[in-house]
């Protein structure tokens, strides 16, 4: 499937077709890098001032190079969701359907657990602007699940729509019932979920 340009190129699109100056590109690259880190740590509610501070530029430079905060966040989230969908595409190319699904699930849940903003985006924030990317990701997960089921590697008594909810549940909050999770709690959760998803019987694949 076709993929849009990365976030920097997308933000540098100029209707005149002119090539941006090198300093302009460097500033946009710094803003995109800062936005990715800030979105991971703070979420989609991060401010333009915070992104500019992290990029080492003034807010005036931010708005000279970026049409708006919303445009920057949409470009960054779009790029990350493209990367997740690419992971799913590579998993679909794995000759072992269960191994491919497991590798994708690990990368997907890790990203959800480690990036506040991605969890928010996948949960519906910026949903209108990200609709094409989310649709691509839904289709990729559906294909991964159905491929694993067709190979009798994944239990057949679930709908593919169940799987995104289960993977989202693995990326737990860091506190519950007065307990505090360590930084790898998502891995424990995912192992249990994957064990529950595997087909049972003689043809059950290795963990």
Walk me through the domains of the chain, giving residue ranges and CATH numbers. Answer: 7-71 (1.10.10), 77-197 (1.10.357.10)
**pLDDT at residue 2, as a whole number:** 43
> Closest Cα to residue 137, out of 105, 98, 110?
105
Q: How far apart are CA 173 and CA 191, in angstroms?
A: 17
**Residue 155, phi then psi, degrees to nearest 5:** -55, 140
**pLDDT at residue 193, as a whole number:** 96
Q: How far apart are CA 167 and CA 148, in angstroms?
A: 16
**pLDDT at residue 3, as a whole number:** 42
Return the residue matching tokens 């989202």. Answer: 168
Scanning 42-174, the segments in alpha helix (DSSP H) are 48-55, 59-65, 69-92, 97-114, 116-122, 127-150, 162-170
17: left (phi over 0), alpha (psi -120 to 50) or beta: left
**pTM for this predicted structure:** 0.81
pLDDT in single tens digits along all 207 residues of the chain:
444 457 777 777 643 456 667 777 888 999 999 999 999 999 888 999 999 999 999 999 899 888 889 889 988 888 888 889 999 999 999 999 999 999 999 999 998 888 888 888 887 666 567 788 888 899 999 999 999 999 999 999 999 999 999 999 998 777 788 888 787 888 999 999 999 999 975 445 555
Residue 142, SS3 per DSSP: helix
**pLDDT at residue 19, as a whole number:** 61
Give the chain's largest Cα–Cα span.
Answer: 64
Q: How far apart are CA 137 and CA 87, in angstroms?
A: 10
**pLDDT at residue 203, as a whole number:** 47
**pLDDT at residue 94, as a whole number:** 97
Token readout for 157 is 């008594």
**pLDDT at residue 128, as a whole number:** 63
**pLDDT at residue 194, as a whole number:** 96
**pLDDT at residue 201, as a whole number:** 56
């Amino acid at each position: 499937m076709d993929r849009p340009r990365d976030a920097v190129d997308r933000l540098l699109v100029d209707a005149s077709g002119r090539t941006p100056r090198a300093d302009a590109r460097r500033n946009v690259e710094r803003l995109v890098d800062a936005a990715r880190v800030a979105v991971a740590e703070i979420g989609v509610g991060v401010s333009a001032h915070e992104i500019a501070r992290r990029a080492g530029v003034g807010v005036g430079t931010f708005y000279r190079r970026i049409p708006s905060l919303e445009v920057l966040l949409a470009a960054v989230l779009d790029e990350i969701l493209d990367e997740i969908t690419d992971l799913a595409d590579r998993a679909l190319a794995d000759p072992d359907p269960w191994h491919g699904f497991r590798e994708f699930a690990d990368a997907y849940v890790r990203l959800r657990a480690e990036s506040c903003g991605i969890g928010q985006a996948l949960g519906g924030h910026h949903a209108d602007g990200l609709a094409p990317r989310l649709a691509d990701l839904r289709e990729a997960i559906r294909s991964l699940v159905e491929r694993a089921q067709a190979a009798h590697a994944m239990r057949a008594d679930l709908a593919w729509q169940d799987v995104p909810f289960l993977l989202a549940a693995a990326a737990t909050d860091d506190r519950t019932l007065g307990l505090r999770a360590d930084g790898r709690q998502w891995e424990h959760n995912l192992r249990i979920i994957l064990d529950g998803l595997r087909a049972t019987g003689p043809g059950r694949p290795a963990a």
